[in-house]
Structure 1
Amino acid sequence: MEDSNLPTLVRLSIGGKKFCTTIDTLTRREPDSMLAAVFSSRHTVYQDSEKGYVFVDRDGKHFRHILNWLRDGVVPTLTDSEYSELIREAEYYQLLGLIEGVSSVLNKRKEDEKSPAELTRTDIIKCIQSERVKFRGDLSLVDFSFACLKNVFFSRANLQCAKFRDVDAVGSNFHNATLRECEFTGANLRGALLAGANLQSANLQDASLIDCSFCVADLRSAHLQSADLTDANLEGANLEGANLKGAKLSNANLKGANLQRAYLRHVNLRDTVPEAIKVC
């Protein structure tokens, strides 16, 4: 049967699966494809004279995706294995545009798998508020300001340059965490564990550090102006060059602490543990 005699509406049987479309759909988007060639006036196609279907001896599983591509130019969302099957069919029908589109989607998937997931500030805070989560990875530069971080586990995490301004972090665990240049201005860290933490150049001004443990913590050049360190344990801490102007140190333990070049103006050291404090 000559294509010139075919009606505009075309019925297809692809491996027994029935489809209905138009000649324009089959020829317009991919004019160099096998389908466009078959339904041109240059070719004769086999048509079931009784039922009016043009038969193509291929698996019809993905032919609806092929028709949708020819209609809209949109690559379907499939699994990788289904994309492999679709490419095989697209190669048979010589649909070069569809092959290129599927290949582009697969390449993007591979790139996304290699790239780390991006979490928003809200995503991170929701995660760390879960009792089941313990953070030991890289959280540098994250802004936690004003968040509720009570009893959060940050032990050994990299939090360099993170912001904790005015957070409520009562009882949180920062043991051996990297907190260099972090901002804790106005934060409530009462009872927090910061033993062994690296707090070099961290800003803890006006923070509540009551009953905190800073044992052997590195507080060199830290800003502790007007911080409340009542009952804090700073035994063995390195406070070289730290600014403690106006800080409250009632009953604080400074045994073995290094206060070399620390700024202690208006600091009341009465009732602190005085043994072996290094002051130069």
Structure 2
Amino acid sequence: MESSSPSSPSPILLNIGGKKYSTTIDTLTQREPYSMLAAMFSGRHNVCLDSAEMVFVDRDGKQFRHILNWLRYGILPTLTDVEYQELLREAEYYQLLGLMEYMKSNMPESEFTREEIIKIIQSDKVRLRGVNLSGLQLSKLDLSLVDLSYARIRKTTFSHADLHKAKLSDVEAEGSNFQHAILRECEFLGANLSGAVLDGANLQSANLQDACLVGCSFFEADLRSAHLQNANLTNANLKGANLEGANLKGAKLNGSNLRDANLQRAYLRDLDLRDTLMDGARLGGANLLGAIR
């Protein structure tokens, strides 16, 4: 069923992840005309209706109220660290470029100094979950086993740091530096690492499922047995990386560089590799069943 005309003043009913909203097509299309929402309700596409004839979108319904208020008034309330991360993820999904820029430009300064972080990690109880450490210089620190889930670590330097088994799920780590860091068995579930530098990092058995790795550099990184299911590796540099035994099920590799990479025994089944640079890549024993090359 097609949505009504963009000029229609009548309300439209939405079911976002089970939460119900009423708004207008003007609200959904005017402030962010290049967003996914604007495209959905442009009148050019079919929309999915639930049993109550409401437009259904399988996303976070709680955070959608902030999105609607942004589209209506161009403002946001004060958010907790966790809410910030959740809303930023939804803004990225809906491609609300204005909201993303607003959130990133209004991100508060780091809550701690390097010296304070050193004192924290030397204490018995390390509490860094959800904190803002953006822009800090944390190279060469022992951060193994630290829980940084939901933290804001944009443009933070972790080069040569020890983050063995650290938890970094859902972190906002855009543009951060992890060069030669120890990231073995780290949890990066759903993390945003777009533009991050991980050259030479040790990511053996790291869990990067559902992570945004767009434009990341993994030059000569060790990703043996890494979990990269459904990760977005668009335009990532994996030249010379060791991906032996890595699981890339459902990963996006458009424009990525896998030249001279070790992909032996890697799971590459059903992947679209047509736009991927793979000169010199070693593929012995890799599962390429159904892969498009």
Q: Fold conserved (TM > 0.5)?
A: yes
Amino acid corresponding to residue 203 of structure 1 in structure 2: N
Equivalent of 2:257 in 253, 259, 279: 253
Residue 129 of structure 2 contacts residue 147 of structure 2 at CA under 8 Å; is this kept in 1? Answer: no
Q: Which runs of 5+ in 1 are unaligned?
A: 1-115
Summarize deviations over 1:201-230 as a string: whole Å, max 9, x none.
Answer: 000000000000000000000000000000
> Following superposition of structure 1 onto structure 2, how do residues 11-90 of structure 1 map, counting pairs within 5 Å?
none
- Is structure 2 residue 226 aligned with structure 1 residue 228? no
State the 1:123 CA deviation.
9.1
Amino acid corresponding to residue 127 of structure 2 in structure 1: R
Q: Are the structure 2 counterparts of residues 274 and 135 from structure 1 closer, same or farther at C-alpha, using a change threshold of 3 Å?
A: closer
Q: Which runs of 5+ in 2 are unaligned?
A: 1-121, 285-293
- How far apart are the structure 2 equivalents of 1:176 and 1:249? 23
Q: Match of 2:173?
A: 169
Q: Match of 1:197?
A: 201
Q: Match of 1:270?
A: 274
Summarize deviations over 1:222-262 as a string: whole Å, max 9, x none.
Answer: 00000000000000000000000110000000000000000
- How far apart are the structure 1 equivalents of 2:208 and 2:169? 9
Residue 233 of structure 2 contacts residue 253 of structure 2 at CA under 8 Å; is this kept in 1? Answer: yes
Coordinate RMSD, CA, aligned = 1.9
- How far apart are the structure 2 equivalents of 1:187 and 1:132? 18
Amino acid corresponding to residue 262 of structure 1 in structure 2: A
Summarize deviations over 1:131-174 as a string: whole Å, max 9, x none.
Answer: 45333121000011111110110000000000111111000100
Equivalent of 2:182 in 174, 178, 181: 178
Residue 233 of structure 2 contacts residue 254 of structure 2 at CA under 8 Å; is this kept in 1? Answer: yes
- Is structure 2 residue 127 aligned with structure 1 residue 121? yes
Equivalent of 2:163 in 134, 159, 164: 159
Q: Match of 1:57?
A: none
State the 1:119 CA deviation.
5.7
- How far apart are the structure 2 equivalents of 1:231 and 1:178? 23
- How far apart are the structure 2 equivalents of 1:166 and 1:117? 25
Summarize deviations over 1:92-151 as a string: whole Å, max 9, x none.
Answer: xxxxxxxxxxxxxxxxxxxxxxxx44463249945x43x453331210000111111101
Q: Are the structure 2 counterparts of residues 123 and 276 from structure 1 closer, same or farther at C-alpha, using a change threshold of 3 Å?
A: closer
- How far apart are the structure 1 equivalents of 2:128 and 2:150? 12
Q: TM-score, normalised by structure 1?
A: 0.56
- Which of the pair has more CA radius of gyration? 1
Residue 128 of structure 2 contacts residue 151 of structure 2 at CA under 8 Å; is this kept in 1? Answer: no
Residue 233 of structure 2 contacts residue 251 of structure 2 at CA under 8 Å; is this kept in 1? Answer: yes
Q: Are the structure 2 counterparts of residues 277 and 132 from structure 1 closer, same or farther at C-alpha, using a change threshold of 3 Å?
A: closer
Q: TM-score, normalised by structure 2?
A: 0.53
Summarize deviations over 1:40-62 as a string: whole Å, max 9, x none.
Answer: xxxxxxxxxxxxxxxxxxxxxxx
- How far apart are the structure 2 equivalents of 1:165 and 1:124? 10
- How far apart are the structure 1 equivalents of 2:138 and 2:206? 23
- How far apart are the structure 1 equivalents of 2:165 and 2:129? 19
Q: Match of 2:83?
A: none
- How far apart are the structure 1 equivalents of 2:129 and 2:231? 30
Query: What is the total number of aligned residue pairs between the two structures?
Result: 164
- How far apart are the structure 2 equivalents of 1:174 and 1:226? 22
Equivalent of 1:133 in 133, 137, 140: 137
Q: Match of 1:279?
A: 283
Structure number with the higher helix fraction is 1
